[in-house]
Amino acid sequence: MEITSQKNVDNFETPSRAEGSTIPSRAEGHPSDTTYTLSEVAKYLDINEGTLRNWEKRFGEFLSNYRNQYNHRVFTDADIKILEKIKGLMESGLFTQTGVKHMINSQQGSITSQKQEKGSGLDEEYKEKLMIALNSVGSEIHALRREMREDLKGSLRRDIEHLTLLLFPPEEKPKPSSWWKLW
């Protein structure tokens, strides 16, 4: 299966199906009940199965929690669309888990509000860009805090070593007057 990437509506790069490339379907009833196994979805998204299980735990509130008769995880087309968004947001490096949840909530909320009110499209677009900028700033602050913490650890370690040497100087051994007196 060949995976390509494209920019979706939110301007995030997500994998998409190449021409003629589809996930093998597992029909349970009629076509609207098409589900896919965990391994099929992981292969389609080009991620590890463990990562997909982790995302299911972290972002389970957005996914349908379907299991087949063997109690195996199965995903619907709607789940795959949400997982593509999660992948794009996580790989962008701009969002934490909380940020991804907020973005998905706001996207789902903006879709329903756009259906209700078509005039507020500019406001939603502005909010979307503002949220991306705020998440970027938050990530930078987090990285700076981590860097400062590491610098302080090194500085404190050097200061403690210096104070230890001042308080407890190493004992010097007396030097023998000549080399033959060593024995």
List, as one string, the DSSP characters of 94-131. ---HHHHHHHHHHHHHHHHHHHH-STTHHHHHHHHHHH
DSSP for residue 170: P
Q: Which one has a higher pLDDT value, 20 or 60?
A: 60
Residue 45: the pLDDT is 92
How much is the average pLDDT of 155-173? 86
Question: For residues 127 and 9, what is the distance between their CA atoms, to the nearest angstrom?
Answer: 15
Question: For residues 140 and 91, what is the distance between their CA atoms, to the nearest angstrom?
Answer: 16
Residue 29: the pLDDT is 39
Please state, in angstroms and as integers, the Cα–Cα distance from residue 33 to each residue in 27, 77, 139, following that order. Answer: 6, 9, 39
Query: Residue 67 pairs with which residues in a beta bridge?
Result: 73
Give the confidence band of 25 by pLDDT, cuts at 50, 70, 90: very low
Q: Is the pLDDT of residue 49 over 70?
A: yes
pTM comes to: 0.47
Question: For residues 164 and 168, what is the distance between their CA atoms, to the nearest angstrom?
Answer: 6
Residue 44: the pLDDT is 92
Q: Is the pLDDT of residue 43 over 90?
A: yes
Longest Cα–Cα distance in the chain: 100
For 59-94, the pLDDT digits (tens) are 888 888 888 888 888 899 989 999 998 898 888 887
| 120 within 8 A of 113, measured Cβ to Cβ | yes
Q: Lowest mean pLDDT: which of 58-67, 71-80, 109-118, 149-158?
A: 109-118
With 0-12 CB in 10 A as exposed, 13-18 as middle and 19+ as buried, what is 43?
middle
13: three-class secondary structure by DSSP: strand
